Structures are given as C-alpha cells and as structure tokens.
Amino acid sequence: MKITVLGAGAWGTALAIAFSARHTVTLWARKADVRSVLSADRENRRLLPAHLFPETLRIGDDFAAAAATADLLIVATPISGLRPTLSRLREAGVPRPLIWVCKGLEAETAKLPHQVVAEELGPQALCGALSGPSFAEEVARGLPAAVTLAANDADFGHRTALALHSPHFRIYANDDLPGVEVGGGVKNIMAIATGVCDGLGLGLNARAALITRGLAEIARFGVALGGHPQTFMGLAGMGDLILTCTGDLSRNRRVGLALGAGKTLPQILRDLGHVAEGVSTTREVARLATQLGIDMPITHAVDAILYQDEPAAAAVEKLLSRDPKIEAS
C-alpha cells in the first residue's frame, strides 16, 4: 500500500518509519526548509533524533502530488493543523481515505476531529482515528505497542487495521469513533493533572486516585458525546491514560510537573519545544463540560491552573476539599 504521512513531527516521523517496513511511505512536512533538512539528514534530528530513515522512506516535496499518489493518507499534524490540512486536500481535489493521529478538541469550536473532517471533506469521506498508548520514540525503535483504529465505516476500519498491523505495532479495529477520540484527547488533561500531583510531591497513592477519578471523568464526557462506555476500559481509554500519566516521555505530564514546581505556562511551553495537546484541549473540554452540565472537577482544576492563574497547590486543595460521593457517580 502507498501511504503518505502529512506532518513530520515526532509522531508522524515515527509512523512513517514504522510503516515503511511493509509499505511504500512518503513523509511530507509543511515547511520547505524542514523538508530539505529531512532529505539531507535522513533523520528528524530535532524531534526524533538517532532514528535513521529506512532507505525506502521518501520525503515528499509537493503537497498535492504526495497526497494524490497515496492509497491512504495519515494526517499527523497537531489538532490545530487538522482543518488547514483538510482544506488543502479539498482544494487539491484528493478524495483519498484518511486517518488522523492528532488528539483533542479543536480550539474555539470544541469539535472532535471527525466532526472537522465531515465539515471539510463531507460526511461520505472514509476516515478514522488512530489512538492508544504509544510514545513516538518507542514506536520508531520498533518496541511493541498496541493501539486502536476507529473508523466511520466498519469495513474500511477493519481493512486498514489489518493492512497496518504488524507483530510489534498491533492495531485493533473499533467502531466507536467519538469514544476513541475523547479517550485520546481528554487523557492529556489528566496527564497534566497527574504531573502537577507528582510535581507537588503528593505521593503514589494520590497519583493512583487521580488517574482513577480521571478515567471516570473521561468516561462521563465521552458517553455524553456519543461514545460507548466499554471503549474507556480499552486501549484508547485506560491504556492511553495510564501511559500518558505515568510515562516520562509524556509531554503533557512534563507540563504538569513543571506547573507543580512553580513554573509559568509560557516558560514551560518554551522549554518543552513540542506541542502538548492537553494545554489547548483543557480550555475546550472545560467549556463544553460546563455547557453540557457534566461534572469534571479535575478538568476544571487544570483549567484554573492554566488559564486563571490559580496556584497549583490551591487548585489541588480545592479538589481535596470536595464533599465525598458514591464512587460510581
């Protein structure tokens, strides 16, 4: 199969490397100077150093040509780049099946990625979301991982999952597109919260409690948006949540750790050098949860730290002082 990966960040680069073992892959970067450097270096030294590109991996130069020659498109931009990329595909007249790996809700609209795709390419477009517990660096190394591919068409989802599946990168098909998207997006908020907890030195008991209650928030929000409850017990829910909240490669966890240490958000984002999707997603999820009347105290605590200048310790204290409830609620 011919695959074009649109977006040469760490995750897009890792997927291009992984899928090159079985497929003909083209990696496209938005900036011309980045494309030139990738072609010359044959590795992404800035975002994924020490992982040389396979000889068969091609760096695409022309957007329309790279998209038109593919059997499958993989949009690997941040959530902020999804709509502009889809708009370019529409203008280029490239009706190719596509999947995306960005996570979160679109800023200002609070739309899930599949809703953005439907608006830009139409509801008939074959599409899906690839999500689950997977760090780019480990996927590029060929270490074992398992993820979920949720699609708007069951046959397309199963065929694509089978085509992309490999012994070290296992892909399970799923028909719950909104549930998988919510799991992948909202877990980043919980990773920031867990990082704050660890940054404040609150201990492993507190971390475990926070992850567990965070999963309950994710499930409440996801079901309200049309997701299936069982999805949040799987790879795109609990699996991704555990990895992102505990793994030191997690950008969102690192944001939380720095907040807990007293650093400011602008300083943290400058030091990070990567996109942490949970930062923008927090504002949209908090706003939408309020509109829908969904109880999400952890999300609102993170929103207060990020956007209302609430000290991390004070936000945590408010969480701890909440009245106890029945656990299932």
The angle formed by the CA atoms of residues 242, 246 and 251, to the nearest 5 degrees, is 105
Tokens describing residue 152: 């708007």
Tokens describing residue 24: 């003909």
Question: Helix, strand or coil for residue 194?
Answer: helix
From CA 110, how far away is CA 244, in angstroms rounded? Answer: 22
Active site residue 187: yes
The amino acid at 292: L
Q: What share of the chain is helix, strand, coil (3-state, %, to 5)?
A: 55, 10, 35
Q: Which of 31, 187, 263, 325 is catalytic?
A: 187
**What DSSP character marks residue 254?**
H
Tokens describing residue 207: 């971390």
Tokens describing residue 172: 């399970």
Catalytic residues: 187
